[in-house]
Every structure is written in structure tokens, then in C-alpha cells.
């Protein structure tokens, strides 16, 4: 191995990603989380929060296109979108590419992270924060949705996995939260979300999220894509309470991409359709999952990938 400074990131207690750093850009702590930004020759800038890589400069577009566009293309004319999380601004950037969008609200609790992203991660937001259609709120997203009755054509959950019993994100993966999201959707509205890495040692992450979402929404579909910066597949979910809202064939996708003049770097109609084809072991895991995450017993993941339930105590 060539000598140098390396960032070692445990993916599980048994496997670690080694990234050779060319320079450290920033490190410290906001009110809510640790941050570390460095640069590599292969993936460019890397954003790490609480010791977990969030995205890398060279491939963030793959993750953010995958998160945003299947849902927004399924909607005939998305005009209003609410984003939970997404502090780097890249999810906001992809939402604003749809010409029908008149209002995009991004709600991330960490104002310091948002300000740092504006300064240090322009490759991610690409000016999206300055778009007149964009509104950025730095509050707790669940509290905001509970206290504001605005409704949206799409709500996008761009969240970290709830790893650890003391993780406050657990309350953004519960049945009651998904029911709240549903109340804030207009008729025909669609929710989409990042829903856990697809990894054999952590195979219950996605099934538990899917099982819980299915308790709140009538139509739920899972899909997945390989994210190079993580060296693994991530799971995603789209959901709606409107029959047929998620049914869009390859030809329909082609038409909407043309109408909206979307020249995506990664996704195309055939590939979007293929992302919804799941392997047998994942299908079986989703079908057999019984755990439903609730406010009383929100689920969390152990470092070993086990899904557990316990009351969430803020003083843990």
C-alpha cells in the first residue's frame, strides 16, 4: 500500500472502506453533529457527518438523481415539493430542475451545516439555494410539518439511517411520521425516501422501513441503485395514497423527460424501470418483515445491522 493519510470508515464492524486523502478541507462540530470534509483523487470532495460518509463530489449526482426523479417523474405536474434533510443542497438542486416546480422548501435542522455547504460544497448545490423558488428552513422537520398545514405535490425524505439507540432520526422513521407526511400531501401526492443500504449483514434496514411505510400508504414500491462512493446498493421507496400514482411505463417516462427537457446524467427510462426489479432475497425479506416502527417503539439499527425497537429517550 502506498503511504499517506487515509480515512478509514467502518461500513460494518467487519468491513472498512479506506480512502486516501489529498487534503483536509474542514473539520469540527455543529450544534448537532461532527463534520469532516476532505478531498480524494478518485471521488473529489467527501462529506462525512458523525463519522459516516454522506456523499462524494464525483458521484453525488447518482444518489440525488435516484432519490428525486422517479417520484417527480411519476407526478404529472409537481408544483410544490418539501424536502426533509438534504443540507448539502443537492436534493434541492435536482427538484428545481423540473420546470413545473414553483416552490421547493428544504427543511434541515442544522443551520451551521447548511451555511458550510453553501461555502464549501458549491459542487453539490450549484446555486440552488439562491433560486427564487427555493425556501430553506432550519428547524426540526417533524415539528414544522406538525405545526404548518401547507400541502405539497411531493415530499422527499433525505435522511441518514437511524443507527444507534440514541439517534434522534429514529422519530423520522415511524408510522406516525409517515402518517403526518401523508396529511401534508395534496391529492395524488407522492412521498419518496432513501431507505437503507442493501447489504446482507444489514438486510433488515430496508424491509423494516418498507413494512412501516406500507402501514401508512396504499401504494408502496421499493427500488435500488448502486452508489459508487459507498461501494454498495442503497434502497429507496416511493409511496402514494392515490391508486395508479406510481404506475408509469418506460414510454411515459420518455415523454415526461422530453416535456421537461431533463437531460439526466445517470438515469434514463429503461434504467429507472430496471431499478424497481428487486432480487429474490430482498423481495422475500420485504414480504416476511413484521416489525412496524412507531413513536412508542421506534426502530433503530445496531452497528451489527440488527433491527431493534425500544422507547426513545432524549436523555440517553
Look at the alpha carbons of 10, 12, 13, 16 in this order and tell me if their dihedral is positive or negative. Answer: negative
Look at the alpha carbons of 315, 177, 55, 135 in this order and tell me if their dihedral is positive or negative. Answer: negative
- Global pTM reads 0.94
Residue count (the chain)? 316
254 vs 33: CA distance, rounded Å = 41
Pairing of strands 6-10, 16-20: antiparallel
235 vs 245: CA distance, rounded Å = 20
Pick the CATH number of 6-56 from 3.30.70.2390, 1.10.10.60, 2.30.140.10, 3.40.50.1820: 2.30.140.10
Tell me the pLDDT of the chain averaged across its residues.
92
Closest CA to 75 of 199, 213, 189: 189
Main-chain dihedrals φ then ψ at residue 36, nearest 5 degrees:
-150, 125
For the stretch 307-315, contacts whose Cβ atoms lie closer than 8 Å and that sit 24 or more positions apart, written own/partner, are 307/204, 307/205, 307/208, 308/165, 310/165, 312/165, 312/168, 312/170, 312/171, 314/168
308 vs 291: CA distance, rounded Å = 9
The pLDDT tens digits along the chain (316 residues) read 455 688 888 888 888 889 999 999 999 999 999 999 999 999 999 999 988 899 999 999 999 999 999 999 999 999 999 999 999 999 999 999 999 999 999 999 999 999 999 999 999 999 999 999 999 999 999 999 999 999 999 999 999 888 888 888 899 999 999 999 999 999 999 999 999 988 877 788 899 999 999 999 999 999 999 999 988 899 999 999 988 888 878 888 999 999 999 999 999 999 999 999 999 999 999 999 999 999 999 999 888 888 999 998 875 4
254 vs 286: CA distance, rounded Å = 30
Closest CA to 52 of 187, 194, 190: 194
Task: Provide the residue ranges of all domains of the chain, joining segments of one domain with +.
Answer: 6-56, 60-309
Cβ atoms within 10 Å of 103's Cβ, excluding its own: 15
Q: Which three cell numbers stand for residue 145?
A: 410539518
CA separation (Å) from 118 to 104, 180, 283, 300? 17, 30, 40, 31
Quick one: DSSP state of residue 156?
Answer: E
Question: 60-309 is classed in which CATH architecture?
Answer: 3-Layer(aba) Sandwich (3.40)
Question: What is the phi-psi region of residue 89: left when phi exceeds 0, alpha when psi lies from -120 to 50, beta otherwise?
Answer: left
CA separation (Å) from 109 to 33, 161, 191, 218, 295? 11, 16, 20, 29, 20
Catalytic residue among 108, 110, 153, 158: 158
Contact assessment for residue 187 and residue 316, using Cβ atoms and an 8 Å cutoff: no
- Is 50 assigned a catalytic role? no
* Each residue's pLDDT tens digit, 251-282: 889 999 999 999 999 999 999 999 999 999 99
Amino acid at each position: 500500500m502506498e503511504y499517506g493519510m487515509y480515512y478509514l470508515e467502518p461500513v460494518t464492524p467487519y468491513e472498512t472502506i479506506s480512502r486516501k486523502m489529498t487534503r483536509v478541507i474542514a473539520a469540527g462540530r455543529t450544534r448537532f453533529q461532527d463534520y469532516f470534509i476532505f478531498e480524494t483523487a478518485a471521488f473529489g470532495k467527501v462529506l462525512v457527518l458523525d463519522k459516516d460518509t454522506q456523499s462524494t463530489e464525483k458521484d453525488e449526482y447518482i444518489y440525488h438523481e435516484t432519490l428525486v426523479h422517479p417520484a417527480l417523474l411519476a407526478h404529472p405536474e409537481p408544483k410544490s415539493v418539501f424536502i426533509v434533510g438534504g443540507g448539502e443542497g443537492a436534493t434541492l438542486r435536482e427538484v428545481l430542475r423540473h420546470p413545473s416546480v414553483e416552490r421547493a422548501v428544504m427543511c434541515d435542522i442544522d443551520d451551521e451545516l447548511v451555511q458550510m455547504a453553501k461555502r464549501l460544497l458549491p459542487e453539490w448545490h450549484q446555486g440552488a439555494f439562491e433560486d427564487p423558488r427555493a425556501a430553506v428552513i432550519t428547524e426540526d422537520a417533524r415539528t414544522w410539518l406538525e405545526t404548518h398545514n401547507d400541502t405539497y405535490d411531493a415530499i422527499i425524505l433525505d435522511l441518514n439511517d437511524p443507527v444507534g439507540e440514541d439517534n434522534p432520526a429514529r422519530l423520522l422513521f415511524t408510522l406516525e411520521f409517515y402518517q403526518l407526511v401523508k396529511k401534508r400531501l395534496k391529492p395524488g401526492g407522492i412521498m419518496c425516501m432513501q431507505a437503507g443500504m442493501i447489504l446482507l449483514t444489514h438486510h433488515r434496514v430496508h424491509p423494516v422501513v418498507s413494512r412501516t411505510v406500507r402501514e401508512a400508504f396504499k401504494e408502496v414500491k421499493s427500488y435500488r441503485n448502486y452508489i459508487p462512493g459507498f461501494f454498495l446498493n442503497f434502497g429507496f421507496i416511493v409511496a402514494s395514497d392515490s391508486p395508479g400514482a406510481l404506475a408509469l411505463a418506460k414510454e411515459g417516462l420518455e415523454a415526461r423527460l422530453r416535456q421537461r427537457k431533463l437531460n439526466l446524467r445517470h438515469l434514463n427510462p429503461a434504467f429507472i424501470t430496471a431499478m424497481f426489479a428487486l432480487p429474490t432475497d430482498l423481495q422475500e425479506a420485504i414480504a416476511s418483515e413484521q416489525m412496524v416502527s412507531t413513536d412508542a417503539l421506534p426502530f433503530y439499527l445496531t452497528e451489527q445491522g440488527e433491527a431493534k425497537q425500544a422507547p426513545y429517550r432524549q436523555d440517553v
